[in-house]
Amino acid sequence: MKSQAFLAQSGAESRMMLRRREVVFFSILLPTMFMLLFGSIFGNTVDQESGVKVISFLLPGYMVMAIMSVALISLGIMTANERQNGVLKRLGATPLPRALLLLGKMVSISFVIIIAVVLLLAIGVSFFGVTIRGNPIEIALILVIGIAVFAILGLMIGGMVKAEAAPAILNAIYFPLLFLGGAILPLSQLPDWLQQFGKLLPSYHLTNLLIEVMALGHPVADSWGNLLALLVWGAGSLAVAARTFKWE
C-alpha cells in the first residue's frame, strides 16, 4: 500500500510540475534554446587539445541548468508555497511516512529532468554530432547524485523561507551557481578570484563530472574529487534540512 501511495504521489506531483509553464520553459525549453544557439555557433568547432567537439563540452552544462531549474528553483518554490498554504502539513498527516513524501517529491522532479536531458542528448547527437564517450551507467549515476543534491538544497530552502520570498532567494542562489559554476561559461573565462569561488560550488563539480565522463570518456573514479565534493554538499544540505525544515 505504501509503495502504491508513494508512486501515486510522485506521479501526481510530476504532472503538476509539467502543467506549470515556467517549469517547462526554464527546465526544458531554455536549455534546449541554449543548445540550439551554441550548437549552431560551435557545432563544427573541435577542441585542438582533446580532439572533441566544443559542443560536447557545453552539453553537460545545459543538463546541469535543467537539473537546477527543476530541483532547486521549482521544487523549492513549490515546497515553500505548500508549506505556507497548509498543504504540506496535511500531506504530513497521511499514512505515508514524511521521509517518503519528500522522497516522492524528489522522484517527481526526476521525471521532468529526464525529459529535458533526453531532449538535449537527442539534439546534440542528431544535429551536432555529439559523441557520448562515457559509460552510460556512470553517467546515469552522476545525474541521480546531481538531482539528489540540488533537490535536497531546494527542499532545505523551501522548508525555511516564506513563500513570497522563495522566488527571489532561490534565484539569487541559482544564477551564481549557473554562471560561476561553469554551466554556461567556461570557468577559465572568469577572473582568477571568481574561478576560485566557482570551484567551491556544487554546479561546478557536477558539470565537471559530466564533462569528464560524457565528453572525455574518463571513468568516474578519475574524478573522485568532484564526486566527493558533490556528496559533501548533499550530506551538508541534508543535515541542515533535518534541523530547519518546517512542515507548516
Q: State yes or no: pLDDT of 19 exceeds 70.
A: yes
Return the H-helix or E-strand segment holding 94: none
When pLDDT is cut at 50, 70 and 90, the band that residue 2 belongs to is low
Q: pLDDT tens-digit profile of 75-102?
A: 999 899 888 888 788 877 777 778 888 8
Choose the weakest-confidence range: 26-40, 47-61, 80-94, 127-141: 80-94
pLDDT at 65: 95
Q: How far apart are CA 169 and CA 165, in angstroms?
A: 6
Q: State yes or no: pLDDT of 209 exceeds 60.
A: yes
Q: Do the Cβ atoms of 68 and 177 come closer than 8 Å?
A: yes
What letter represents residue 207's amino acid? T
Domain ranges of the chain: 2-244
pLDDT at 165: 93
CB atoms within 10 A of CB 246: 13
When pLDDT is cut at 50, 70 and 90, the band that residue 210 belongs to is very high
Q: pLDDT tens-digit profile of 154-181?
A: 999 999 999 899 999 999 999 999 999 9
* pLDDT, the chain, mean: 88
pLDDT at 234: 95
Q: How far apart are CA 185 and CA 180, in angstroms?
A: 8
pLDDT at 84: 86
**207 vs 62, 64, 116, 172, CA distance in Å?**
9, 6, 16, 20
Q: State yes or no: pLDDT of 1 exceeds 80.
A: no
pLDDT at 176: 93
When pLDDT is cut at 50, 70 and 90, the band that residue 14 belongs to is confident
Q: How many CA atoms lie within 13 A of 204 on its CB side?
A: 19
Which has more confidence, 20 or 160?
160
pLDDT at 26: 78
pLDDT at 41: 85
Percent of the chain topping pLDDT 70: 97
In DSSP terms, which residues pair with 53 in a beta bridge? 46
Q: pLDDT tens-digit profile of 93-147?
A: 777 778 888 888 888 889 889 999 999 999 999 998 898 998 999 999 999 999 9
Q: pLDDT tens-digit profile of 221-244?
A: 999 999 999 999 999 999 999 899
Report the b/e string of 59-98 with b at 16+ CB within 10 A: bbbbbbbbbbbbbbbbbbbbbbbbbbeeebeebeeeebee
Q: State yes or no: pLDDT of 5 exceeds 70.
A: no
